[in-house]
Amino acid sequence: MRVDEVLSRFVAQEADHLIAIDPDLGPVADQVEAAVASGKRLRAAFCYWGWRAAGQPDSDALVRAAASMELVHAAAVVHDDIIDESAVRRGRPTAHVALKAGLRGRPRAAPTARALAMLVGDLLMSLAGQLFAGSGLPTAYLARARPLWATLARELIAGECLELLRTGGEPDTAQSLQVIRYKTAKYTVEQPLLIGGVLAGAGQELTEGYSRYGLPLGEAFQLRDDLLGLFGDPALTGKANTDDLRAHRPTALLAETWRVADGADRERLRALSGRRDVGRDGLEAVREVMTRLRAPDRIEGMITARVEEATRALDDLDIPVPASRALTDLAHAAAIRRH
> At residue 168, does pLDDT exceed 90?
no
> In 3D, which of 45, 83, 59, 65 has the Cα closest to residue 323?
45
| pTM for the whole structure | 0.95
Q: Are 31 and 95 in contact (CB under 8 A)?
A: yes
> At residue 179, does pLDDT exceed 90?
yes
Q: Are 180 and 253 in contact (CB under 8 A)?
A: no
pLDDT 10s digits, 209-260 = 999 999 999 999 999 999 999 999 998 898 888 888 888 889 999 999 999 9
Mean pLDDT over 102-113 rounds to 90
Q: Is 108 left (phi over 0), alpha (psi -120 to 50) or beta?
A: left
What percent of the chain is modeled with pLDDT above 70? 100
pLDDT 10s digits, 304-330 = 999 999 999 999 999 999 999 999 999
E strands, 49-197, in order: 88-89, 92-93
Q: Which residues pair with 89 in a beta bridge?
A: 92
Amino acid letter for position 48: Y
Structure letter (DSSP) for residue 57: P
What does the pLDDT read at residue 278? Answer: 86
Mean pLDDT over 270-293 rounds to 91
Per-domain boundaries in the chain = 2-335
End-to-end CA distance of the chain: 19
Q: Which residues contact 245 (CB under 8 A, 6 or more apart)?
A: 230, 272, 273, 274, 275, 278, 282, 283, 286
Structure letter (DSSP) for residue 89: E
What does the pLDDT read at residue 105? Answer: 80
Note the Cα 66 to chain centre separation in Å: 15
Q: Which residues contact 284 (CB under 8 A, 6 or more apart)?
A: none
Distance CA 64, CA 62 (A): 5
Distance CA 199, CA 73 (A): 20
What does the pLDDT read at residue 61? Answer: 98
How many residues are present in the chain?
339
> At residue 145, does pLDDT exceed 90?
yes
Q: What's the CATH number for 2-335?
A: 1.10.600.10
CA distances from 156 to 185, 258, 264 (A): 9, 26, 36
What does the pLDDT read at residue 235? Answer: 87
Amino acid letter for position 6: V
